[in-house]
Amino acid sequence: MISPESALHSRIEQSIRQLGLFRPGDTLVVALSGGADSSALLDLLSRLPDYNLHLVVAHLNHTLRGAESDADQEFCRELASRYGAPFEVRRVDVRGMATDLRLNLEDAGRQARIEFLDELRTRYGAAAVVLGHHADDQAETLLMRLLRGAGMTGLSGMAYRNTRGYVRPLLEISRAELEQYLLNRGLTWREDASNGDTLYLRNRIRHNLLPLLEQYNPEIRASLAATASIIKEDEALLEELTEQAFAESWHMEEGRWSCSIPQFRALSRSIRRRVLRHAFKQVTGSLAGVGLTHIEALCGLLDSDRPNARLSLPQQVTAVREYDRLLLMKSDKTVCGQGFEILITGPGSYHLPDSSTLTVAVSDAGVCAVDSRTVQINPVSFPFPWLIRTFRPGDRIAPLGMSGRKKVKDVFIDRKIPASERARIPLLFCGEDLLWIVGVSVSELCRTDATVNRAVRVTWA
């Protein structure tokens, strides 16, 4: 008959193999708190048949419980020594860190652990960081996220392997099974008194909510863990569709992510939300601070009848609606460009800040093409020097074919030129007269007739 210990090894080894968590002979950083879950994890990894793993034991002393925290550290040191594994420890004033960074204790502790474990993984060249989260943790996590409000991504729970290279081989094993395993092996563990403190939401779920739910379903912990697993499989498919939709509808443009709104609106509303989250992550690298309200606000920006609007988002991200285009960028990215002035003293080439070039040359007079990259100017009527500069409020032009003058801003609006591009478009002046909104509109002042034999041809490229 197979012993309970051997059966547990077989289940864990199956998860490791099927999910590709790590391979025989790998170096692994094992996060050890001294509790039952991580203590069982260390013992199980050390005894995996035919794996011969190189284990590095890592313990973070949060210094929250004084002498008890120090005792946890010494327990972990002795445990690492028993298994012949290198022991790495770091002491962090998590309470002070939380105050300095304006975080709660849980988030501060999480950040400190990630920094410590990432550093060790790099230093040892480890294939993965191994965590002791189990099925009960998965059930608690699902309930926490459900209570706070989450979509399928949140309800899929913790991953067996995340993008940081952290793996969780015990997610199908219950806390009770791990404690029984340790008892059968004659091993001890440390109890953290803070685990009973119902000030923390996770502890209230563990000690109050889950026992209540067990009155309706004695197997609620296993059911919730199984639900998270099913959702995760569906989530993987939806994530694949999201990445495909993002690749088809968004592109990088001058350091900003941009999408065509009509093309984006063709997507289902569910995929739209997911793509917007994905786009935000491309800008910032994480989804920290982003909730459903922010994504709904972005959807509202897309559906709005206003052609121009903007929205401030977490992590200093700005969303800008410009007619049929949506831009997503860090707020320190300029939206309106930098102003400039360049004096045109005569024929020659003049380099503009956007890397374009204005070429000024004398040529035979001819017919001027409207709204092109080339314009002809009568040098008698408009002698040098000229000035090329960016738009200023109040600028006006007499568009070719019109008798009166028109605000340049109105020309931009008529041509549906986004606000972010207007301040980058060069304007060519002679004195107070605006001759050309470069590439957009030629002034009536530039009209030439048969009496003009020589003209100055200005080309923008």
Work out the widest C-alpha separation in the chain, in whole angstroms. Answer: 110
Q: Residue for token digits 């100055």?
A: 456
Residues 177 and 138: beta-carbon distance below 8 Å? no
- Is the pLDDT at 332 greater than 80? The verdict is no
pLDDT at 43: 97
Distance separating alpha carbons of residues 178 and 35, to the nearest angstrom: 11
Query: Which H/E stretch holds residue 339?
Result: none
Distance separating alpha carbons of residues 256 and 252, to the nearest angstrom: 6
Query: What's the pTM value of the predicted model, to 2 decimals?
Result: 0.64
| pLDDT tens-digit readout, 403-447 | 889 999 999 988 888 877 887 899 999 999 999 999 999 999 988
Confidence band, pLDDT 50/70/90 cuts, at residue 185: very high
For 81, phi and psi rounded to 5 degrees?
-65, -40
pLDDT at 336: 43
pLDDT at 368: 47
pLDDT at 337: 47
Confidence band, pLDDT 50/70/90 cuts, at residue 365: low
pLDDT at 437: 94
- In angstroms and rounded to an integer, the radius of gyration of the C-alpha atoms of the chain is 33
* Percent of the chain residues topping a pLDDT of 90: 56
CA 80 to chain centre: 37
Provide the 3-class DSSP secondary structure of residue 38: helix
Confidence band, pLDDT 50/70/90 cuts, at residue 131: very high
CA angle in degrees (0–180, nearest 5) for 181-183-186: 110
Residues 328 and 254: beta-carbon distance below 8 Å? no
Residues 155 and 50: beta-carbon distance below 8 Å? no
Average pLDDT of the chain is 89
Residues 373 and 417: beta-carbon distance below 8 Å? no
Q: How many helices (H) and strands (E) does the chain have?
A: 16, 21
- Is the pLDDT at 371 greater than 80? The verdict is no
pLDDT at 14: 93
Distance separating alpha carbons of residues 40 and 173, to the nearest angstrom: 11
Provide the 3-class DSSP secondary structure of residue 331: coil
Confidence band, pLDDT 50/70/90 cuts, at residue 247: very high
| pLDDT tens-digit readout, 289-317 | 787 778 888 888 888 887 888 888 888 88
Query: Which H/E stretch holds residue 329?
Result: strand 325-330
- Domains observed in the chain: 4-225 (3.40.50.620), 254-330 (3.30.465.60), 341-460 (no CATH)
- Is the pLDDT at 209 greater than 90? The verdict is yes
